[in-house]
Structure 1
Amino acid sequence: MLPTEQYTRYIKAQAARLGFSYCGIARAEKLNEDARRLEQWLNKNHQGSMQYMENHFDKRIDPTLLVPGAQSVITLLKNYYPETKQQNNSPKIARYAWGKDYHEVIRAQLKELLFEMNQEIGTVTGRGFVDSAPVLERAWAVKSGLGWVGKNGNLISKQNGSYFFIATLIVDIPLQYDDPFAKDYCGTCKQCIDACPTNAILPNKEINGSQCISYYTIELKEALSQETNVKTENWLFGCDICQEVCPWNRFSKPHSEPAFEPIPAILNLSSQEWEEMSEEVFKQLFKESPLKRARYSGIRKNLRWLQ
C-alpha cells in the first residue's frame, strides 16, 4: 500500500472516531471558477453589511495562502440534526444553535485530528477552519465528493440531507484524492425558493445574503424599520425554512454529538419568558451557545420585531 493511501485511510478512520459523518479529500489548488462566482456575488452587494465577506479575497480562493506548501484539503461534515423539537409557542431558533457553540466543539476536534496525524505520519503542517475564516468550505466539499450545493445554498448529501457543519483542514502533505461530486439532484424542485418568506433565494443557485432571515436576526445590528416589511416568521435567531422544506432532509438522522444536545431553555421558553429574561440570565444560560453572537441586545431587537 502506498503511503498516500495508508495515510488517507488513517485520516478517515480518525475522523470517524472523532464523530465526523463524512470525510473527503481534494488536491489543494486555486479555485478559479469559484473566484469568479464570489466576485460576481460581491459586486451585487449580496453580502449586505457582512464586510468580512469582502476581506481576504485571495485567501478564500487559494489554500496555499492559508497554509504555505498546502497539498491537500480535507473536508469533514458533522451532523447536528436534533431528535427533539421546540415547543410550538417558542420563538424559533435555527437547529444548529441549539447546543454548544459548534466553532469551539469542532475546532477542538480538528486540533486533535491534526495531532493524531503528526503522531502517525510525522510532521504535518496544517490549519483547521470552521465557518469563521476565509475558506470556501462548500466548494471544497463538492470537490471532495461529499455532495452538491442546492438551490438554497446549502451542501446536500444524498444520504443524509443538509443538517451538517462543514469543517476544513488544510495540510501540506499529498493524500489520495476523492472524485468531485459531479451531479445536482435538486432537479426542477424549487420548494426552498417558494418557501423563503423574504425571497432571499434567487435563481441559478444564488443567495441574497442581505435578505435572509439569518442575516436580519444575527448579522444586522440595527433595528428593522416598519417600512422594511420583512416577515421573520417568528424566527428569533437564524432560520431553517429552506432546510425544513427540502425533500432531501427526509433522510436526516439524529446526531450523536453530546455537545450538540439542546439547551433546555431553547426548546421551551415562550415569547413572554424571553421578554422577561435579564441580561445576566441570558449570559448564564447561553454562555456556551452560538446565541451569544447576537448578544442580549440583538435578541431584544429581534423580540421587538416578532411583535
Structure 2
Amino acid sequence: MSTPDILAALALDLGFDAVGWSAAHVPDTSVEEYARWLKHGHHAGMDYLERQLPRRADLSSSLEGSLSVLVLGISHAFEQLPPPPGGVRLGRVARYAWTPDYHEQLAPLLSRLETETAKLGGRARAYVDHGPVMERLLGASAFLGWRAKSGMLVSTSLGAFMTLAVVLTDLPLQVETQAHPDRCGRCTRCISACPTQAILPGRALDARRCVSYLTIEHRGPVPWELRSGVGDWLFGCDGCTEVCPWSMRAGSVARALRPQAELAHPDLTPFFMLSGRQFDQAYQGTPFARPRRKGMARNACYVIGNTRDPQGFSLLERAVHDPAWEVREAAAWALGQFGETKLLHRLMSDPHPQVSDAARRLYVPC
C-alpha cells in the first residue's frame, strides 16, 4: 500500500467520513479573492483572519517544506434528539455544537496521523478549524466537494454538515489537483433561507450579518436591525446548510461524533443563574464556552423576545438585574417584543446609557 493510501486508510479507521489529498499550494487568484473579502470588512470582528493572511497564502509558514495536504471531513449531520425534561428549553443550536468541542475530540485523532506520518519518514502538522489554513479551498482541491453558493464546502455524500481538518506534510506525493464539479446548478435555497441576507454574490459570506457569527463571535449587542433575523437561533445557525438539497439527500450520516441532548436543547436558566466562573466550569469543553455566560444569556433574551414564549418571561425578569449590561440591554429589547411596560420603565433608570436608551426607545406608556 502506498504512503498516501496508508494515511488515508488510517484516517477512515479513526472515524473521518471523507478523505482526500491536495497539493500544498494556494493559487494567487484565491489569495487575491480572500484579500478583497477582507478589504471589504466581511470578516467582521475576526481581526486574526487579516493578520493571518500571509500564512494562509503560504502553507510552508506553518510547516516548512510543505508539499502535500491530507484533507479530512467529518460529518455532524446528527439525527434529531428529543429535548430532556424540565427547564426552559427554547431556541435552536447549530448541529455541530450538539457534541462537546470537536476541536478537543479530533485532536488525538490528528495526533495519530502526525505520528504515522513520522513513521513513514515525513513531518506533519495538523489543524482543525483553527489554523491559518484555507480549509475549504484545500477541501475542494482534494475533491471532497465544491464551494457552494453559501460559501460552505458541500459534498455529494455528506451534504453541507461537514467539519474540515487538514494534515500538512512534507511527503513528496504525486497529487493530481482537480476541481470538483459544481453541483449547485440553478438552486438558490441557501441564499433564500438566510434570515439576514448574509450570503454575498461570488459564494462568500458577510460575517457582519451572519447569525452564526452574531451569536458566537460577536461581542456586545447585536445590531437592532438584525435581531429579528436571529429568530430562535440560540447558538450558531444552520439556515443555509439544512435547506441544501445535498444535505437533505445525505440524511443523518454522522458516525464518529456523538450528540448530547443537553447541548442540542440546553436549559436557558443557568445562563442567568450562574456567575461567570461557575458558567466556565459548567460548560468547559463545550461550544457554549466561546460566547461565555453573558453571550449565551444575551442570545437567550433575543430568542425569548423573538418567540414571545411565555415560559421564558421569568428569565427576562431576572435578566433586568443581570450584572452584564449587554444582557440587560437584550432583556429590554425582548421585553419590548412582549409589550411589557413595568420592567421597561424600571430599565429606563439603568446606569448604563445603552440599556436606558433601549428601554426608552421601546417604552410605550399605558
CA contact (8 A) 1:145 1:181 kept: yes
Inter-partner Cα distance in structure 1 for 2:99 and 2:197 = 29
1:78 alignment counterpart: 74
Which residue does the alignment assign to 1:22?
A: 18
Does 2:150 match 1:133? no
Residue in 2 aligned with 1:200? Answer: 198
Residue aligning to 1:219: 217
Contact 2:271 2:294 (C-alpha < 8 Å) held by counterparts: no
> Who is 2:115 aligned against?
115
1:87-236 superposed matches below 5 A: 87=83, 90-119=90-119, 121-122=120-121, 124-226=122-224, 228-236=226-234
Corresponding residue of 1:255 = 254
**Structure 1 segments of 4+ aligned residues over 4 angstroms from their partners:** 86-89, 227-230, 274-277
TM-score where L is the length of structure 1: 0.90
Decide whether aligned partners of structure 1 residues 229 and 10 sit closer, same or farther in structure 2, where only a CA change above 3 A counts.
closer
Q: Deviations over 1:57-84 (max 9, x none)?
A: 1110111111111111110001111123
> AA paired with 1:266?
L
Aligned to 1:266: 263
CA distance in 1, matches of 2:226, 2:153: 30
290, 299, 306: which one aligns with 1:293: 290
Q: Where does the alignment leave 5 or more consecutive residues of structure 2 unmatched?
A: 306-366
- Once residues 169 and 86 of structure 1 are traced to their aligned partners in structure 2, the CA distance between those partners, rounded to angstroms, is 36
Maintained 8 Å contact 1:74/1:169: yes
Paired residues of 2:10 and 2:113 also in contact (CA < 8 A): yes
For residue 57 of structure 1, what is the aligned residue in structure 2? 53
In the TM superposition, what is the alpha-carbon distance from 1:155 to its structure 2 partner?
0.6
C-alpha distance after superposition, 1:186-234 (max 9, x if no partner) = 0111011111110001222121111100111011111125355541011
| CA–CA separation in structure 1 for the residues paired with 2:227 and 2:158 | 35
Contact 2:149 2:188 in 1 (8 A): yes
How many residue pairs match? The answer is 298
Shift of 1:47: 0.8
Highest CA radius of gyration, 1 or 2?
A: 2
Could you tell me which residue of structure 2 aligns to residue 246 of structure 1?
244
- Maintained 8 Å contact 2:93/2:265: no
How well do the aligned residues superpose, as a CA RMSD in angstroms? 2.0
CA distance 1:213–1:232, shift in 2 (3 Å) = same
Partner of 2:229: helix, strand, or coil? coil
Distance between the aligned counterparts of 2:202 and 2:129, measured in 1?
23
The residue identity in structure 1 corresponding to 2:42 is: H
Larger RCO (alpha carbons 8 Å, 6+ apart)? 1
Q: Is the alpha carbon distance of 1:82 and 1:282 closer, same or farther for their aligned partners in structure 2, counting shifts above 3 Å?
A: farther
Secondary structure at 1:299's aligned position in 2? helix
Aligned partner of 1:13: which letter?
Answer: A
Distance in 2 (CA, whole Å) between partners of 1:296 and 1:65 is: 36
**Given the superposition, is the C-alpha separation of residues 223 and 138 from structure 1 closer, same or farther in structure 2, using an over 3 Å criterion?**
same
Deviates more, 1:226-235 or 1:99-108: 226-235
- Post-superposition offset of 1:40: 0.9
Find the aligned partners of 1:155 and 1:252 in 2 and give their Cα distance.
17
Can you give the 5+ residue segments of structure 1 that lack an aligned partner in the other structure? none
Q: CA deviation at 1:284?
A: 4.6
Residue 225 and residue 71 in structure 1: after superposition, are their counterparts in 2 closer, same or farther (change >3 A)? closer
CA distance in 2, matches of 1:232, 1:241: 10
